[in-house]
Structure 1
Amino acid sequence: MSIRIFSLAFACLAVTGCASITNDTTAPVRFEAFDAAGVEVKDADCKLENDYGVQTVKTPATFNVRRSSKDLQITCVKAGEADGRGVAISRANGGMAGNILFGGGIGAIIDHNKGTAYTYPQWIQIVMGKLLTFDRKVDVEGKPNRGEEIVAPVASK
């Protein structure tokens, strides 16, 4: 009888997904904005958008962003400043790795669909007038992710 109960409990845990148990559907992300000279731009209105919808935040702020497997599109506006834009790359987190390691195939699918298996960078610094990418792979604990500028390729003639 105890083997049957243990098996049932294990099956229930397997279908819920590792990341669903260890991660919430949102994660805190710090947002700041700066001008080209490196001066902080306060009260920039930032629109955050992924496949779960649109959220807004004023800089500087730490905000709970909805997790997703899709990248987070960021647009910050402030009167007198050029718009600052960014793309926060979504990366699989430890919960997804746990699903793969422990054979929770169903859990991996659930966590992927709920977005709980993914994480964005923890501290994003938008630069007004630029388009930047922010990759969690280069995050350093306690330090801002300053991003990498995306430069449009020059069209050949």
Structure 2
Amino acid sequence: MRRYWLPVILGSMVSLTGCSTITQSDTQTIAVTASYDGKPVEADCSLTNDKGTYTARTPANVMVHKSGEDLSVTCKKDGLPDGLLVAISRAAGSMWGNIIFGGGVGAIIDHSRGSGYDYPYQLAVKMGESTVIDKRTESGQQANAHQQESDAIYN
């Protein structure tokens, strides 16, 4: 009788680990700001990854489709040099859970949908400069505060 429980227990473990497709969205709201000489400016920005191009006038919250590819940001304002920024995409914790517990099938799905990745939540573009922002260097407090703010706006 005990041998019949083993498949049930293993099946339950796999199904309860959850994949990013279930636990995370394939979109993310990102706060974009622009500045010149330390002062905020309104700039027209274009955010691009392999899932699409998104436009905004700073300061703005922009909803983008997540991807394993980095997010390129270009901001323009008449009379100022362009601001360039690259936001590094990083695998979310749930992606690693898929690989370890789910046998990788969920990870393949999450990779193709983008739900297994995250970008930094705040992108501060400096006009006249080229900047790289990595999700790894973003503090947990910044990410949590921005996520709560985004949830309040979009829910």
- For the aligned pair, the TM-score class normalised by the smaller chain equals 0.7 to 0.9
Q: Which whole-Å CA distance do the structure 2 matches of 1:88 and 1:55 have between them?
A: 14
TM-score normalised over the length of structure 1: 0.78
Counterpart of 1:107?
106
Quick one: percent identity of the two aligned structures? Answer: 43
Residues 94-151 of structure 1: per-residue CA shift (max 9 Å, x gap): 11011022134100100011111100001110000111101010002228xxxxxxxx
Q: Which consecutive residues of structure 1, in runs of 5 or more, have no partner in the other structure?
A: 144-157
Counterpart of 1:38?
38
Partner SS state of residue 39, structure 2? coil
Q: Are residues 1:23 and 2:24 paired?
A: yes
Q: Which whole-Å CA distance do the structure 2 matches of 1:28 and 1:92 have between them?
A: 16
Counterpart of 1:54?
53
Q: Which whole-Å CA distance do the structure 2 matches of 1:104 and 1:62 have between them?
A: 36
Matched pairs, number: 139
Structure 1's consecutive aligned runs of 4 or more residues displaced over 3 angstroms after TM superposition are: 9-14
Q: Which consecutive residues of structure 2, in runs of 5 or more, have no partner in the other structure?
A: 144-155
After alignment, is 93-102 or 75-84 more displaced? 93-102
Q: Which letter does structure 2 place at the counterpart of 1:41? A: V
Q: Which whole-Å CA distance do the structure 2 matches of 1:78 and 1:13 have between them?
A: 50
Q: Are residues 1:126 and 2:118 paired?
A: no
Deviation at 1:91, TM superposition (A): 0.3
RMSD: 2.7
Q: Which has the higher helix share?
A: 2
